[in-house]
Each structure stands twice: as structure tokens, then as C-alpha cells.
Structure 1
Amino acid sequence: MNLPAEELQAIRAAAQWYARLHSGITTDADRAGWNAWLTASPLHSQAWQRITAVAEQMASVPGVLAAPTLSERHNRSRRQVLRSALLLTSASGLGWLGWRSQATQNLLCDYRTAVGERREFQLADGSTVLLNTDTSVNVRFDGRQRLLELLWGEIIVTTAVDPLQRPFKVITGHVEVLALGTRFIVRGQARGGEVAVLEKAVEVSLPAIGSRMRVEAGQRLDFNDRSLGTLRGNDVSVGAWQKGSIIAIDRPLAALLDELSRYRNGVLRCDPAIADLKVSGVFPVDNTDLALAALESGFSVRVTRYSRFWVRVSSSDQR
């Protein structure tokens, strides 16, 4: 991957800051220094997004390719953590970033959206695909089939009648979703995903193990690269993002913040002490600061903004 020197320098710095902030012994001075670096240049913000995206993916890789250097290790010194990060970023001219990294895939994909963006595209056969925030998709239509490869993110697919009667499939990871004349949602992440059917039905399969399951309208199914989950019913929260909302029904606060963080740049953290606090409500994804303000006014939480890129939600009782 031949990146300009300035981008390489920014990525190296981002990796150092990532390791420092995840060393387990972060200081206020560290956070202030990171914030100053992050806001100094758009290249720094872009590099930070690339590092965090790659770190999430590498956390799911077995063996030595996983990123123990990028996770908290309380039994390692600050010097060891930072030295490991430097070695990792210098190896093969940052070639490790090419390992299925979201950033690399986004550069080459057919359709993509940025963080906080939603866009709809019409495909060559008349089908439409609506991309949620931070989503990347490849399209492969030929004489035998219509294929979407969801590299990352979430889509709503509305299939059109094909005069050639070619099957329509969505592939994400090791999972295949065959449309049976339908409208459906597919979400793909590093550790799995979900299919939710809005109209008609789909067939979800894991060809590697021969597992297959039909999902009807009004149903959803979780999956990972090793197994298919159990069918559940859709609720009002399914697909609410297409109208600009997250609908929470007794949802743990940490899970809600994880979902909200998909729509904003930077870091959104939840204090573990209130991670299980049940939250219900409708929260806008196009204005995440307004969503956080709604949380703060409606629940016993306090939102602390170290910068617009670093936000922490804790108990309002904490001082």
C-alpha cells in the first residue's frame, strides 16, 4: 500500500497514541496531548479512524496476528506497550494495515458511506440498496447471478424482478443471504452480524458447515462465521435508522452507546458501573450530540466531553 509520506507519519502517530491511551496507565496529560494532536490536522483524524478500525478487526484474529499490543495489559509497562506499537507500525511499511482492514477495503469498494452518512443507490437491475453509516459494498452482477458483498456496515436491500431470473445474494464474511423476492436488512461486523426480513423471505446459509435457515418476513437472525443463531421476531427498533433514529426498548446503556458511536467520529465511552442501566427512547442518529443530551436529561447519567472526539458517559452521582 503506497501511501503519501504525510499519511504514513499520521498513521504511525495514531498507533502510538492508541497504544498510549490503551496502556492501562493513561494520564490526564496523555488525553490532553492526544486531543491536541487529533484536532491539529484532518489527516490526524483520518489516521485515528483507520487505526481504531484496524484494531477492532485485528482483535478477532487468532494467534500472533491478533493485537495484544493494542489492548490493555496491566502487567506490562508503559514503555513495553509503546515499543510494541512502534514495532507493529514500522513492520513492512505499515503493510499490516492491508490485512482486511476496513480502510483499505473502502478505498476499493463500489459503494460506501462515511461515518454518519446514509445513501441509497440503484443497481443495474433496478434493485436498490440503502447504505447505513460507515458501510462499504461491492457489486458483482454477471450472467449467472446478482451478488452484493457487504464488506462492513449495514444495508437495506429491495430487490427488483430480474428478466434473466438470476438469483440475488448478499455475502458478508462466510455467510450467504439468498433473497426470495424480498426486502431485507443485512448487518456485517468483525464478529458476526444479523439479517432481518421486512418483506417475503430469505435463506441464510453457512456453506462451510452446511448450515441453512429460512427467515420469513417479521423475523431476524443473528450469525457469526461458525454458526447461525435462533430466529427472533422483529420489533420497532429494526431498521429505524433508515428514518434517522435508534429506538431503544429497555436496552443496556452500553449497548445503546455502542450503536450511537457508529454515527459519530471519535471515542464514545460508557462507565462500566452503569453499563447495564436500562434505557428506552428514540434517539436521533443525525445529531448524536442531541441524543447524548436527551440521555443526560432523561436518565441519571452525566456526559463529559473532553473534546468533540472524546466523550464519556458516567453516573450523575460521580464527582
Structure 2
Amino acid sequence: MAARQPLAPAQRDALRSAAQWYALLSSGMQQARDQQRWQQWHDADPLHQQAWQQVEEVRQLVAGVPAEVAVTALQQSRQSRRQVLRQLLVLAGVGAVGWSGARSDLATSLLATHHTGVGEQRALVLADGSQVLLDSQSALDVRFDDQRRLLHLHSGRMLVQTAADVRSRPFWVTCAQGQVEALGTCFSVQADKSFCEVAVLDKAVRIHPAQSSQSLRLEAGQHVRFDPHQLSEPAPSDASTASWRTGNLIAIKRPLGELLEELGRYRHGWLRCDPSITALKVSGAFPLDDTDRALAALESGFDLRIERRSRYWVSVMPKPA
């Protein structure tokens, strides 16, 4: 294997600048002029465009790590994912103790049994015959032993169809917010940083928040959100529930901001909604395998304007009067 050539000073400078831009643009504190300045920087030099593409690739691998840390992994592209992760954790200040025992989202997600990338869905058949459909940007651990069948969803979303077990082992799904006990069923689980959402398509599950004695039996046709401390009231499901499994996102009077946040999980870069239209109610079916077509449908059907600064920076704006 040929030796890897060191980066030229100009390439290092471009990567450093790209990391700084990423840190700003993902901070939530950027302003309109920052977008314009970023576009000018991006278009000014092919090295800037290459550096930004590399930062995007690393961002997809280590989502949630500050860009100034993630960029260092670019210099380790021939190492394994585990080696890159080790260096990232050290650079992030986790240290040796963090590597050996930390339950950081970064470590657990990257080292989980199964992963999906941006826009990817993956069908799994587990050892007991149960089936899982893993949605875009998801990380799942599968832990079966003699006593139980356990899935731990670190992040993202999945649809589970449980199979009967010859050893009668219980089937559990866990996430940071609590546990879901399957009662011979088909159900979906979405794990977010602050909540977990469960929808039952067949039969029932029982939900146990992590830090509450409260539990809930959720029946087919219902969905609920919960955090470690409490459960929301169960609500009836509709055609939009788990519609992602068919490759379409169905919206029924859904706020535009929420819809775009969902579409953003299936595309690279930033998908921004102008604050003045986040509450606009939208209905329709939008393809997840072609989010540009979904955006075009929104633009033509709801009097909106799609502004593309680059393929990685798209804004949905109100159409001028």
C-alpha cells in the first residue's frame, strides 16, 4: 500500500477554515450574513470546496462531535472506524477513562451493532426470526442471551416485528428514556435526545419510563411519547404513523417546520425553514428517496420558494408577495 502523502499547508488551512465554518453554522447562532460569508468562502477556492466536502463526510460519521475535533479524523482516513473514534474521543477530552467506560452518544452509536447512513434504510432478520427495519441515521445494538432478547436503540428510528421464541424469552427495546416490552407485536420506536416515541401497529406493548414507577400498556392504533420521568397521553394513530417504512413521508396538517426537520434526516447538509412559516400546516405524501422532489412538491403546492445556496444549504422561504 502506498504511503499516504501529508497535507499541503494550503489544504490544512482550508480544512481548519471549514471546521470553523461548520462549528458556526451548526451552533444555532448563525445569522443571514454568516450564510452569505460562508457561500463566498466556499465558492472562492476549489480547496475550500474540497475541505467542506471532507467535513461533511466526517460529520456524517461522527454526528454531534464539534467540527474542529472531527476534522482531525480526516488525516486518519486509512485507519479503522474504531481507531478514528479513539482519537476523536481523546481530542474531545474524553480521555482514557472515557474510552474504556464512557457511555457517550458518540462512542455507543459508532460502535453499535448496526448503523444506517443519511437516507439509508436497512432490513434486518434477527437470530430468533424477528424482523427490524432500521431508518435513516440510526444506530442499534442487538443483545440476545439465554434470558432475554434485547434491542437498544441509541438513536434514530426502527420498525420491529417480533417472532415467537421457542425459549419463551421476553423481547425488550431500550433507549435512553426507558424500556418497551413487546407483547407479541409490530411497533415502531423513535429515539430522540429528549424523548422516545412509540407507535403500535399490531397487538400491544408495555412502556416503562427509566426514572418513573409509571407504566403504560399501549394498544394497536395508538402512539405515545415519553421521557425518563413521564408519559404523554396516548393518541390515536393515522396514515402518517410509520409511513416512512413505505418510502414516503405522509403529512396530515403537519407544521412545515416539523416536516422539514423530518425530511432533513434523509438528506446531506442543512435544510432550513424560514421562522415565519414554521407553523404553516401541510398535508401530502413526500418521497424520502428523492428529497429534492419532495421540496419541489412543497414549493409548487404551498406557495413557497426553495432557495439553494449550494446542494448542502437549502432554505424554504415564503414566496414574495
TM bracket, shorter-chain basis? 0.7 to 0.9
Structure 2 gaps, min length 5: 1-5, 67-87
The answer to whether structure 1 residue 95 and structure 2 residue 93 are counterparts is yes
Post-superposition Cα deviations, 1:70-127, rounded to whole Å, max 9, x if no partner, equal xxxxxxxxxxxxxxxxxxxx99522359775655333311111111011110000110
Separation in 2, partners of 1:268, 1:154: 20
Q: How does 1:203-218 map to 2 (within 5 A)?
A: 203-218=206-221
The answer to whether structure 1 residue 45 and structure 2 residue 56 are counterparts is yes
TM-score, length-normalised on structure 1? 0.80
**Closer, same or farther: CA 132–209 of 1 in aligned 2, 3 Å:** same
**Closer, same or farther: CA 130–24 of 1 in aligned 2, 3 Å:** closer
**Closer, same or farther: CA 38–182 of 1 in aligned 2, 3 Å:** farther
CA contact (8 A) 1:17 1:34 kept: no
Q: Partner of 2:41 in structure 1? A: 33
Separation in 2, partners of 1:145, 1:133: 27
Separation in 2, partners of 1:27, 1:130: 37
Separation in 1, partners of 2:277, 2:52: 34
Is the partner of 1:255 in helix, strand or coil? helix
| Aligned counterpart for 1:271 among listed residues 274, 285, 290 | 274
Separation in 1, partners of 2:315, 2:298: 12
Separation in 2, partners of 1:129, 1:144: 20
| Aligned counterpart for 2:284 among listed residues 278, 281, 291 | 281
| Aligned counterpart for 1:243 among listed residues 228, 246, 258 | 246
Aligned residues: 279
Separation in 1, partners of 2:30, 2:123: 42
Q: How does 1:12-23 map to 2 (within 5 A)?
A: 15-21=19-25, 22=27, 23=29
Q: Partner of 2:77 in structure 1? A: none
Separation in 2, partners of 1:294, 1:257: 13
Is the partner of 2:117 in helix, strand or coil? coil
Q: Partner of 2:164 in structure 1? A: 161
What residue identity is the alignment partner of 2:205?
Answer: V
Q: Partner of 2:230 in structure 1? A: 227
**Closer, same or farther: CA 113–27 of 1 in aligned 2, 3 Å:** closer
CA contact (8 A) 1:180 1:200 kept: yes
What residue identity is the alignment partner of 2:174?
Answer: I
Q: Partner of 1:185 in structure 2? A: 188
Separation in 1, partners of 2:190, 2:15: 28
Separation in 2, partners of 1:11, 1:221: 43
The answer to which of 285-294 and 90-99 deviates more is: 90-99
CA contact (8 A) 2:306 2:315 kept: yes
Separation in 2, partners of 1:167, 1:34: 53
**Closer, same or farther: CA 40–205 of 1 in aligned 2, 3 Å:** same
CA contact (8 A) 1:11 1:47 kept: no
Deviation at residue 178 of structure 1 after TM alignment: 0.2
**Closer, same or farther: CA 225–46 of 1 in aligned 2, 3 Å:** farther
CA contact (8 A) 1:53 1:101 kept: no
Q: Partner of 1:128 in structure 2? A: 131
Deviation at residue 182 of structure 1 after TM alignment: 0.5
Is the partner of 2:64 in helix, strand or coil? helix
Deviation at residue 53 of structure 1 after TM alignment: 3.0
Deviation at residue 51 of structure 1 after TM alignment: 6.6
Post-superposition Cα deviations, 1:204-224, rounded to whole Å, max 9, x if no partner, equal 002422120000011111111
**Closer, same or farther: CA 164–290 of 1 in aligned 2, 3 Å:** same
Q: Partner of 1:302 in structure 2? A: 305
TM-score, length-normalised on structure 2? 0.79
CA contact (8 A) 1:11 1:48 kept: no
Separation in 1, partners of 2:222, 2:17: 45
RMSD after superposition? 2.7
CA contact (8 A) 1:140 1:148 kept: yes
Post-superposition Cα deviations, 1:283-316, rounded to whole Å, max 9, x if no partner, equal 0000000000000111111001111111000001
Separation in 1, partners of 2:104, 2:248: 28
Q: How does 1:114-153 map to 2 (within 5 A)?
A: 114-153=117-156
| Structure ranking higher on relative contact order (CA contacts 8 Å, 6+ apart) | 1
Deviation at residue 158 of structure 1 after TM alignment: 0.5
**Identical aligned pairs, as a percentage?**
43
The answer to which of 208-217 and 24-33 deviates more is: 24-33
The answer to whether structure 1 residue 313 and structure 2 residue 281 are counterparts is no
CA contact (8 A) 2:138 2:156 kept: yes
